[in-house]
A and B are shown apart, each in its own frame.
Chain A
Amino acid sequence: MLRADRVKVELNGRKILRDITCYLERGEIMLVAGPNGSGKSSLLKCIMGLMEFKGRVFLDDVEITNLKPSERFKMGITLAPERLRVAKNLTVEENVSISGDFQEALEIFPELRPLAKKKAGKLSGGERQMVVLARAFISKPKYLLLDEPFQGLHKDLRVRVINLIYSLSKKCGVVVVTHDELDEIFLMSDKTCILVGGEVLYFGDSEGAEQLIREMFI
Chain B
Amino acid sequence: MVALKKDFILILTILLLPLLLRSSFVVSVATIAVIYSILSLSWFFMEKEAGWASLAHSIPFGIAAYALAINPTLLILAFLLSLLLFAALSLSGREKFVFTSFITAVVFWYLSHYITLSVNGEIVGGEEGFSFQSIGIWESYLLSSSMLLLFFASFALIRKSGLGLKIEAVRDDEIAARSIGIDAFKIRIVSFTISVITATVAGLCYLLYFGHVSPEIFSVEVALLPFVASLIAGNRWLSPVVGSYTVVIVSRAFSGILPEAHLLLYAAVLILSPKLKGWWSASVD
- Chain A CB within 10 Å, residue with most, of B172, B173, B181: B181
**B172: A residues at CB distance < 8 A:** 86-90
Q: B153 within 8 Å of A by Cβ?
A: no
Give the one of B168, B172, B179 with max A CB within 10 A. B179
Q: A69 touching B179 by the CB < 8 A rule?
A: yes
Give the size category of A's interface with B. Answer: 20 to 34
* Residues of the A chain whose Cβ atoms lie less than 8 Å from the Cβ of B165: 90, 94, 97-98
Instruction: Let me know if A50 is at the binding interface, CB within 8 A.
Output: yes
Q: Interface majority SS on B: helix, strand, loop or mixed?
A: helix
Q: B275 near A: Cβ within 8 Å?
A: no
A90 and chain B: residue at smallest CB distance? B168
**B173 / chain A contacts, CB cutoff of 8 Å:** 85-88
A95 touches B169 (CB 8 A): yes
Interface check A80, CB cutoff 8 A: yes
Known A86-B176, A98-B162; judge A69-B169 contact (CB<8 A): no
Q: Are B181 and A73 in contact (CB under 8 A)?
A: yes
The yes or no answer to B177 lying at the interface (CB within 8 A) is: yes
Give the nearest-CB partner of A135 in chain B. Answer: B180
A73–B181 Cα distance when bound, in Å, is 5
A169 interfacial contact with B, CB 8 Å = no
Q: How far is the CA of A103 from the CA of B188 in the complex (A)?
A: 29
Interface size of B by CB at 8 A reads: 19
Q: Which residue of A lies closest to B170 (CB)?
A: A87
The interface bits of chain A over 61-81 (1 if a CB of B lies within 8 angstroms of the residue's CB, else 0) are 000000011101110001111
Task: For the complex, give the distance between the alpha carbons of A135 and B177 in Å.
Answer: 10
Closest chain B residue, CB of each to CB of A68: B183
B180 and A98: CB pair below 8 A? yes
| Chain A CB within 8 A of B175 CB | yes
Residues of B within 8 A of A90 (CB): 165, 168-169, 172
Q: Is A195 an interface residue (CB 8 A)?
A: no
A85 interface neighbour in B168, B171, B179, B183, Cβ under 8 Å: B179
A206 / chain B contacts, CB cutoff of 8 Å: none
B178 within 8 A of A: yes
Flag A123-144 by CB within 8 Å of B: 1 or 0 each.
0000000001001100100000
Beta-carbon contact of B183 and A70 below 8 Å: yes
Cβ of A81 and Cβ of B175 under 8 Å apart? yes
User: B180's contact among A68, A89, A139, by CB below 8 Å, is which?
Assistant: A139
Given the known inter-chain contacts A88-B172, A89-B168, A90-B172, please indicate yes or no for A98 contacting B182, CB distance below 8 A.
yes
Complex Cα distance, B175 from A72, in Å, reads 14
The residue in A72, A78, A81 that gathers the most chain B C-beta atoms within 10 A of its C-beta is A81
Which 3 A-B residue pairings sit nearest by Cβ, starting from the closest? Answer: A73-B181, A85-B176, A87-B172
A-side interface residues toward B, CB under 8 Å? 48, 50, 68-70, 72-74, 78-81, 85-90, 94-95, 97-99, 132, 135-136, 139
